[in-house]
Chain A
Amino acid sequence: MRHTQTNSSFGKSVTGSRIPRRLIAVLGFAALFATAGAAQTQMSPSCAPGLMSRDETESGTLLLRTSTPGCYLGAPRVAADISIEIAGPIARTKVTQRFENPANSWVEGVYLFPLPEGAAVDTLKMKVGDRFIEGQIKERQEARQIYEAAKAEGKKASLVEQDRPNVFTNQVANIGPHETVVVQIEYQESLRFEKDRYSLRVPLVVAPRYNPPPRAVVADNGDSPRLSLTDPVPDRDRLDAPVLRPEWGKMNPATISVHLEAGFPIGDIQSDSHAVSIVRSSKTAATLTLKDGQTATDGDFTLSFSAARDAAPTVSLLKERTGDGDYLMALVVPPSADQHVQPKPREAIFVLDNSGSMEGESIRQAKAGLLLALGRLKPTDRFNVIRFDDTLTVLFPYPVPATPENISNAESYVSSIAASGGTEMLPALLAALNDETPNDTSHLRQVIFLTDGEVGNEAELFSAIANKLGRSRLFTVGIGSAPNAFFMSGAARAGRGTYTYIGSIDEVGPRMAELFAKLERPVMTDLAAHWADVNDAEIWPNPLPDLYVGEPVMLTAKTAKLKGTLLLSGRLGEKAWAARLDLSRAHDAAGIEKLWARNKIAALDDSRVLGADADQIDKAVLQVALDHHLTSRVTSLVAVDVTSSRPLTASLTTRSVPLNLPAGWDFDKVFGKERDVDIQHADIPAGLLKQLDGKEHAENAVRPADAPMVLPQGATDSRLLLIAGVMLTALALMLLGARRKFAGMRS
């Protein structure tokens, strides 16, 4: 009986030990699997999927620096054709881009492209094989979702998004190995009219921009100043496109053709930027093509023309009738300013950007322009000079009289300035707008700002200008082959001044002279439009801006039915000015509706600078953009092929098409020596584009685009180990205890 009892108690122990043993086995296996699982979920390659480290690189692959140090990307080639139709004061541009996939894998092409200030993309077409697919305007997020979904499903898709009003990105998904996809976008803008000449500029490069690092700012909300953190460039990642090194040769060739139908007899036609052949088909029409056939996209294309002598119209009225009403565009050239008005003395604050991006021809142009300006000052004027990079120097403690001695001091100072460093524009702007005598009406206070404007914190700068302007007027002078026109003209608008563009050293004299004419002579102010028989007109811009000598009044309006007359009035210096326009004489023209919508969006966006509610603005802009089929901050164009072209098993890698460095840019100055060390070490042979063909293998792409991202394992095995360990120890102790009891019983 005893024995049985003992036996049974032993049996119990054995049974008890069997379970933990099994448990141990199970736990042990579990631990093993868990470790293996953890190893599987490791994101072990240090580069993101599709990127390569230098070691993984095969020869002949074009490597592009990415945001991950040590990781590189191959680059597909792009060709572009630009065809421009000018009808009266409106230019419609069609950009056709060819994406070629040089690799043996499926890629996504990402291409930043520049657009002129004030232009809006309204059409997107994609050619896949023989078919054209037309893009639809969608709310930005929705468009991106549609694009991403199509990309994941292996369909050809294209997405045109606006990053800045003058920088758009075009993404094309699922380009097959060695396949070509043609994407076509169309945009419209109005010609600039100044000094009796119509002009157009087609930007061909997105210049690399200096984006200030995030920093703490003190926000003063009335009673208690509050420290907050702001990144002045919230979307810096999107704007960082890789830049080709000059020795790699230039890519992205573009062909350009222009069809001009002026609506009046044309005088002369010229392009300051490119050699062009001009064929005149009639008195009012001409065709332009590039003499070289094609151009590398490393500078902007400019075109200007004038009316034949005595044929210049002083009024042009264009209208477009659509389903929801009539649209009007009016362009009126006021008579030349009265030469007898005595100009007021001026207080001129010159600001010179001597940051690294100005290195080379730009700083020479800027200094030449500034020296000219100093020479134009009269003894009754006052002036000061400020220079900035990421540091700031204000030459005189306060604006000093333009005495020969002061001017000579300033001239020798300006001559000594060299370009280097970053572009911290805000402190310089604030220093320039800091007005010690805000109520002085005896002088016109003018800030003349010479820069290439390559900054990414435009919004911050605009609001500083709007808030601190006071009686000052801000005149921006754009320098270099590709100044940031969005910033330049936006700053001038916020500063109630004008924007002057200087494209080359030869233009410094004439362009600065035009600016001096504006600075020194009276302006047209208090412009207003009065309708005789229309009371529902919506006019943009609103209010009408001040005019400087030689500028036309330009307005767009929408109304249910155009009729009667439109009276324009204003003050030209001390004199009243008025013009009466007979609306029945307006000509029909296409594109007025889009021009009006674009002006409305620009006006809505400008109101943000002045403190309007951002959500309200976004809603209003969205409505206008959807109604009128325009891309904007809040809307994008998306096109998706209905049939899937990529086998879902093939992987997709994202690439950025490299941008050409604008002419006159010193590569090392833009990026700093230490930042391109990686590229120099990458040892990229010349003519590698040819070598690129067929050398890259699909295996370089790591992850199928449609595979979900897996979050890493978020637990160690320590708890499991502890529990197993404690249980085993407890079991061992139990066994020892049982043994002792058993031994005790037996004795």
Chain B
Amino acid sequence: MIDRLRLLAIGLLLIGSSLIGWGLYMPAKAALAQILLERAWVRAQQGDAAAKPWPWADISPVAELEIPRLHQKNIVLEGASGDAMAFGPGHMANTPAIGRRGTAIVAAHRDMQFEGLGQLERGDLIVATLHDGSRLVFRVVDLRVVRANASGLDPADAGPTGARLALVTCFPFNGVLHSPLRYIVLADRV
């Protein structure tokens, strides 16, 4: 009886610690990926067209996103698939490129790069730097919680200034389980 109990405890301990390890690994991987991405981005800006964050990388950075209030910079990747979003914010493929006419949608995890998204306020600035070095400034105009399948976002919506940017993450911010709700920060091109 006691040995069985001990066996169970050790088994639980193993599973538990590997879960913890996995749970720690995901954000660590993302943090490391962002550092490597950042370096590759700088090299790319300096003219190294073949700059890759790591040798087997098959993701393509599209912009650097700076949120001054959060003191953070992230490299945005093309595609908001799970693959890309494991490394950084993803630009949804069926929305216009950042700065193009319409609403560009960038999604990231609430427990990774967009952790502090809830602290943003109307009027805050978001700065996107594109491949060619051009800096596009957006100003936050709306903050809202929506259902994932009824976001009210329209990629064709160009807003009053011709280009909008929507940052999307899961809501509630401190939630544990997957949620059908999303938090949207909507910004207009300045």
**Which A residues have a C-beta under 8 Å from some C-beta of B?**
17, 24, 30, 33-34, 37-39, 41-49, 67-68, 213-216, 228-229, 231, 234-238, 708-733, 735-736, 738-739, 742-743
Contact = CB atoms under 8 A, between A and B. Distances in A.
Nearest to A715: B170
B178 A67 contact: no
B12 A731 contact: yes
B178 A739 contact: no
A541 B65 CA distance: 48
A297 B108 CA distance: 47
B177 interface: yes
A48 B80 CA distance: 12
19 contacts: A17-B8, A43-B92, A45-B93, A46-B78, A49-B94, A68-B93, A214-B134, A234-B163, A235-B101, A235-B158, A235-B162, A711-B149, A713-B170, A714-B110, A718-B22, A720-B177, A726-B16, A726-B20, A731-B9
Contacts, number: 204
B5 A719 contact: no
B124 interface: no
Given A237-B100, A712-B107, A721 B20 contact: yes
B181 to A, nearest CB: 9
A732 B5 CA distance: 9
B97 interface: yes
B44 interface: no
B153 A43 contact: no
Interface of B: 2, 5-6, 8-13, 15-24, 26-27, 78-83, 85-86, 90, 92-94, 96-97, 99-102, 105, 107-112, 114, 132, 134-137, 146, 148-151, 153, 155, 158, 161-163, 168-171, 175-179, 182-184, 189-190
Contact of A716 (B26, B78, B102, B151): B26
A43 B27 contact: no
A728 B80 CA distance: 32
Contacts of A228: 190
A503 B83 CA distance: 55
B101 A229 contact: no
A731 B161 CA distance: 56
The 4 A-B residue pairs with the shortest CB-CB distance, nearest first, are A728-B16, A725-B19, A721-B23, A725-B20
B124 to A, nearest CB: 17
Contacts of B149: 708-711
Given A43-B94, A234-B162, A713 B177 contact: no
Most buried by B among A45, A712, A727, A728: A712
A416 B75 CA distance: 47
A699 B26 CA distance: 37
A718 B111 contact: yes
Nearest to B1: A10
A711 B107 contact: yes
Contact of A711 (B20, B78, B93, B151): B151
Contact of B12 (A49, A234, A735): A735
Nearest to A235: B101
